[in-house]
Amino acid sequence: MTSDDASPGHDDRTAVDPGPADVPAPDLPELQPHQVFDRVGGLPAFEALVESFYARVEQDELLRPMYPEDLEPGKRHLTLFLAQYWGGGNLYGDERGHPRLRMRHAPFPITPEAALHWAENMAAAIGEQDFPPEVDALLLGYVGRATPTLINQLPDEVRTLPERGAR
Ligand code: HEM
């Protein structure tokens, strides 16, 4: 998967490594990524998820300054993107075109720490939703894979050469 890919189905997300035979398989019903949208009840579930996520972003001292004053347009775009990604049809594409997420995130200084904040806020928002466990598992797996792909900057201390000591 690349971060620009808003259509599940051709990556290894559903590949299952059976693991050692004596380890019991997780007892979750099989759910395909494109079935998530219907399984959670459609768009309102994604609206609620993104509301909860943005409420956390508003309180996040590292992330909040990256976001514009008016959070509403971004909320809508993220809602449509996630709904599309999880099987809701071309909702984001109809309004915004191709996601090109790395390009759209280029203006923001996304350090590993910022990415971690984003992922923690999203994981907490997912946890608040009362989704079925098989949905939680898919969403959290996606957050874990997608978020690091948007890192585009290392922290200042890494980008600055340390003082050279006298030889
Ligand atoms: C890694 C940490 C991330 C940071 C710091 C971050 C930050 C941002 C910011 C500041 C915006 C602009 C919001 C606005 O203009 O109102 C944005 C937009 C967006 N982000 Fe992220 N983001 C991150 C990760 C992600 C991830 C993992 C996804 C995908 C699940 C994502 C999906 C989006 C979408 C769909 C938009 C709207 C794009 C558009 O249509 O303009 N972001 N993000």
Give the Å distances, CA to CA, from 117 to 1, 12, 47, 99, 128.
22, 26, 20, 22, 17
88 CA to centre of own chain? 16
* Residues 138, 154: Cα–Cα separation, whole Å: 28
Q: Which two tokens mark 93?
A: 């594409």
Q: In the prediction, which pLDDT does 163 show? A: 85
**Could you tell me if the CB of 76 is within 6 A of ligand 1?**
no
Domains of the chain: 34-155 (1.10.490.10)
Distance 105 CA to ligand 1 centre (A): 6
Confidence of residue 29 (pLDDT cuts 50, 70, 90): confident
The per-residue pLDDT for range 62-117, each reduced to its tens digit, is 999 999 999 999 999 999 999 999 999 999 999 999 999 999 999 999 999 999 99
Q: What's the Cα-to-Cα distance from 158 to each of 26, 41, 112, 115, 162, rounded to whole Å?
A: 40, 45, 12, 16, 9
The model's pLDDT over 128-166, given as tens digits with 9 standing for 90+, comes to 999 999 999 999 999 999 999 999 999 988 988 888 875
CB distance 105 to ligand 1 below 6 Å: yes
CA 117, CA 63: separation in Å to the nearest integer? 7
Render pLDDT for 1-22 as a digit per residue (tens, 0 to 9).
Answer: 444 555 554 444 434 444 455 5
Place of tokens 């001292």: 61
Mutation test residue for ligand 1: of 77, 82, 92, 152, the one with most atoms within 8 Å of CB: 77
pLDDT in tens, 114-127: 999 999 999 999 99
How far is the centre of ligand 1, averaged over its atoms, from the C-alpha of 113 (Å)? Answer: 15
Ligand 1 in reach of 60 Cβ (< 6 A): no
Hunting for tokens 């280029």 — which residue is that?
106
